[in-house]
Amino acid sequence: MNDRLNPAGALPYAGVRVLDLSQGIAGPYCCALLAQQGAEVIKVEPPAGDWSRTIASARDGLSAHAIACNVGKRSVALDASKPGAREALLRLARRADVLVQNYRPGAIERMGLGYEALAAGSPQLVYLSITGFGPDGPEARKAGSDSVLQALTGIAYANRDADGVPRRVPFVLPDTATALYAAQAVGAALFAREREGRGRHIRISLLEACAAFLAGSILESALFPGHKAPLTVPSGVFRTQDGWIALVAVNDASFGAVLRALGLEAWLADERFATMQARQAHAASVNDEVAQRLAADTTAHWSERLAAHDALFAPVLDFEGLRAWPQARHAGVFLDFPQPPYGTVPLPRVPGQSHPHEEKPTSPAPRIGEHTLEVLREAGLSDEEMDRLRSSGAIGS
């Protein structure tokens, strides 16, 4: 075991060096999770920057997604097509415990940075390849994006509106799910490396990550084709006088709690609602009556009633409401994190940290190439070599 790994009292990935060659959301967010758990992460991006830096609203090359996906990293701006740049990348790769890349199949190999080439000299390397649709096959070279994957994997279909029109879920679900599975796979590979003394090549696609994330829904469609029974009754988001409440009953006890809170105790003796199967057959009438009851008073009124009966419910909050919610504040869900050029931002912490009020990313998300010269010097490049890279347009800082 390398002596620099896992110093006493440190975060779980302290001493682990990660080279992040990925762009967008899935790969960078995976690496940001590793960084927030102690890894030293070097992000290599083109001099124009990772494309996620300018999606939606942004200032100084730092969009909200770029911050979430790059906290705790150092940035190197390097144009791999310029003379000398690939050798610089190789030096960075040789120092890494983990390498993450999301080029289309075959591209990284043409650069001389494929797994086989690197593992020959670094057998302990954990190498993560993220693709849209897998390393080979009829669609392997197809460009994968959030909207494309939501369309192909049933997410948009499952999110149809009242008229049956498929809709994209309005956040980057495929990429985020992929990042979570990828981070877990990297952790498992590092654990295995401690026992076996060697790394491995991990291949993860957005396609398979979405399928895994939707396992229950996909199995439901396979086991009961054409059967559209609601998962629970009642279930849905219901309007109140001044807002919305999400309400669900997953078993007989929680159904009884809803009835008592809404003044529908008479239904407790009604055979139409005695079991989940019976309620599913009368889902429309149950949901209609629940909707009428909730619409008759305020969210605060029903929240008090439903809470008193221990029903499964929640008022519908926006993101500002979530940040202000007393339980979220008590649990330390958000860190007051200094991030130029915005000042303090509400950064959600990584779940599972043992000391949520103390453990923070070591540094804010970097600007493009903020640490180029610093990192290349650490990798052993001389001032003369860096001057040549600068002259060729290979590096930016």
Model confidence pLDDT, tens digit, residues 231-270 = 889 999 999 999 999 999 999 999 999 999 999 999 999 9
- Domain end residue (candidates: 320, 343, 374): 320
């019976």: which residue's tokens?
278
Q: Is the CB of residue 30 less than 8 Å from the CB of residue 179?
A: yes
Q: With respect to residue 327, please indicate whether it lies within any of the assigned structural domains.
A: no
For residue 124, the model assigns a pLDDT of 97
For residue 352, the model assigns a pLDDT of 86
- 183 shares its domain with 112: yes
Say if residue 8's pLDDT is above 70.
Answer: no
CA 366 to chain CA centroid, nearest Å: 19
For residue 362, the model assigns a pLDDT of 73
Mean of pLDDT values over 190-206: 97
Supply the Cα-derived Rg of the chain in whole angstroms.
Answer: 25
Q: With respect to residue 100, please indicate whether it lies within any of the assigned structural domains.
A: yes
Q: With respect to residue 328, please indicate whether it lies within any of the assigned structural domains.
A: no
- 51 shares its domain with 137: yes
- 314 shares its domain with 349: no
- 116 shares its domain with 37: yes
For residue 357, the model assigns a pLDDT of 46
In order of 239, 252, 254, 304, 312, the CA distances from 258 in angstroms are 16, 10, 6, 12, 8
- 49 shares its domain with 107: yes
Helix residue ranges per DSSP H, 107-230: 107-110, 115-121, 146-152, 155-158, 173-196, 206-213, 215-223
Q: Could you tell me the CATH number of the domain that includes residue 198?
A: 3.40.50.10540
- 187 shares its domain with 102: yes
User: Which residue range forms the structural domain that includes residue 310?
Assistant: 235-320
Global pTM exceeds 0.95: no
**Span 328-383, pLDDT tens digits:** 999 999 999 999 999 999 999 999 876 544 555 679 999 999 999 999 999 999 99
Q: What is the percent of the chain where pLDDT is above 90?
A: 88
Mean of pLDDT values over 119-131: 97
For residue 231, the model assigns a pLDDT of 81
For residue 1, the model assigns a pLDDT of 44
Q: Is the CB of residue 302 less than 8 Å from the CB of residue 240?
A: yes
Q: With respect to residue 302, please indicate whether it lies within any of the assigned structural domains.
A: yes
Quickly count helices (H) and strands (E) in the chain. 18, 14
Number of domains in the chain: 2
For residue 260, the model assigns a pLDDT of 97
In order of 63, 351, 352, the CA distances from 332 in angstroms are 24, 10, 12
- 163 shares its domain with 34: yes
- 125 shares its domain with 30: yes
Q: With respect to residue 272, please indicate whether it lies within any of the assigned structural domains.
A: yes
For residue 54, the model assigns a pLDDT of 93
Mean of pLDDT values over 55-66: 94
For residue 7, the model assigns a pLDDT of 59
Q: With respect to residue 142, please indicate whether it lies within any of the assigned structural domains.
A: yes
* Burial class of residue 75 (count of CB atoms within 10 Å of its CB; 0-12, 13-18, 19+): buried
- 290 shares its domain with 343: no
Looking only at the bridges linking them, the beta strands covering 343-348 and 334-339 are antiparallel
Q: With respect to residue 125, please indicate whether it lies within any of the assigned structural domains.
A: yes
- Domain end residue (candidates: 263, 289, 320): 320
For residue 15, the model assigns a pLDDT of 94
- 111 shares its domain with 157: yes
Closest to 281 (Cα-Cα) out of 273, 290, 291: 273
Number of neighbours of residue 322 by Cβ within 10 angstroms = 15
Write phi, then psi, for 326 (nearest 5 degrees).
Answer: -55, -40
**Span 270-325, pLDDT tens digits:** 999 999 999 999 999 999 999 999 999 999 999 999 999 999 999 999 999 999 99
Closest to 350 (Cα-Cα) out of 232, 131, 183: 183
Q: Could you tell me the CATH number of the domain that includes residue 315?
A: 3.30.1540.10
Q: With respect to residue 253, please indicate whether it lies within any of the assigned structural domains.
A: yes
- Domain end residue (candidates: 296, 320, 344): 320
């499964």: which residue's tokens?
312
Chain mean pLDDT for the chain: 93
Say if residue 397's pLDDT is above 80.
Answer: no
- 348 shares its domain with 260: no
Mean of pLDDT values over 124-131: 98
- 273 shares its domain with 184: no
